[in-house]
Amino acid sequence: MNAVAVAIVAAGFALTTAVGARAGFGVATLILFVLIVACGVLVVAIARKSKSGSVAPASCLRCGGLISPNAPFCKHCGAPAAPPR
């Protein structure tokens, strides 16, 4: 997933640069380039975070329900969540 995200962002950079070189780097092209860079940084950060596994839900030790890994209590049964590892 991470390699795909980086490839898509690189393609966006290349396309915007090609359009800018052909039409001249006007205001619209520069705004588009800034938006693609901002979205690209966001996509790569999300891909890296999801690859590290820190986005995955945790399971309650009492009822087995899915909860947030940062939740202090289970939203299903109210049991205290396990301390973070």
Looking at the fold, whether 35 and 62 belong to one and the same domain comes out as no
Residue 30 or 54, more confident: 30
Looking at the fold, whether 38 and 65 belong to one and the same domain comes out as no
Q: How confident is the model at residue 71 (pLDDT cuts 50, 70, 90)?
A: confident
Residue 84, pLDDT score = 55
Q: How confident is the model at residue 1 (pLDDT cuts 50, 70, 90)?
A: low
Predicted confidence (pLDDT) per residue in 10-20, tens digit: 887 788 778 77
| 65, amino acid identity | G
Looking at the fold, whether 47 and 74 belong to one and the same domain comes out as no
Tokens of 19: 């359009």
Tokens of 20: 């800018």
Domain that holds residue 71: 57-85
Indicate whether this model's pTM tops 0.75. Answer: no
Residues 33 and 20: their CA atoms lie apart, in Å, by: 9
Looking at the fold, whether 48 and 63 belong to one and the same domain comes out as no
Looking at the fold, whether 65 and 37 belong to one and the same domain comes out as no
Looking at the fold, whether 45 and 79 belong to one and the same domain comes out as no
* Number of domains making up the chain: 2
Looking at the fold, whether 44 and 17 belong to one and the same domain comes out as yes
Residue 14, pLDDT score = 84
Residues 49 and 2: their CA atoms lie apart, in Å, by: 10
Question: Which value, in Å, is the radius of gyration of the alpha carbons in the chain?
Answer: 21
